Amino acid sequence: MLLSFDTKLLKYAELAVKSGENIQKNQLPHISSSNDKLKLIQIIIKIAYKNGTKQVFVELSDAILFLNSLRKRSKRLT
């Protein structure tokens, strides 16, 4: 039986929350990720809240914006 991508993503998120990070009740986890993984982050947050976490802090980055800012900085230095 083949699982759909969404089902696999859900199982992966559950594994990350319950086993990998072991997020428990009343904890305040911090997630740092690139924005291309937003769907996975949303699922992880939902599972973390179901497990009783009080608040989830999320820091998203964008690789294209980051590279553009580096290019702009390097032009200023030359």
Whole-number pLDDT of residue 78: 64
Whole-number pLDDT of residue 1: 67
Digits of tens for pLDDT over the chain (78 positions)? 678 999 999 999 999 888 877 888 888 899 999 989 999 999 999 999 998 898 999 999 998 888 888 888 877 766
* Cβ-defined contacts of 59-67 (< 8 Å, 24+): 59/30, 59/31, 59/32, 59/33, 60/33, 60/34, 60/35, 61/32, 61/33, 61/34, 61/35, 62/34, 62/35, 63/34, 63/36
Whole-number pLDDT of residue 30: 92
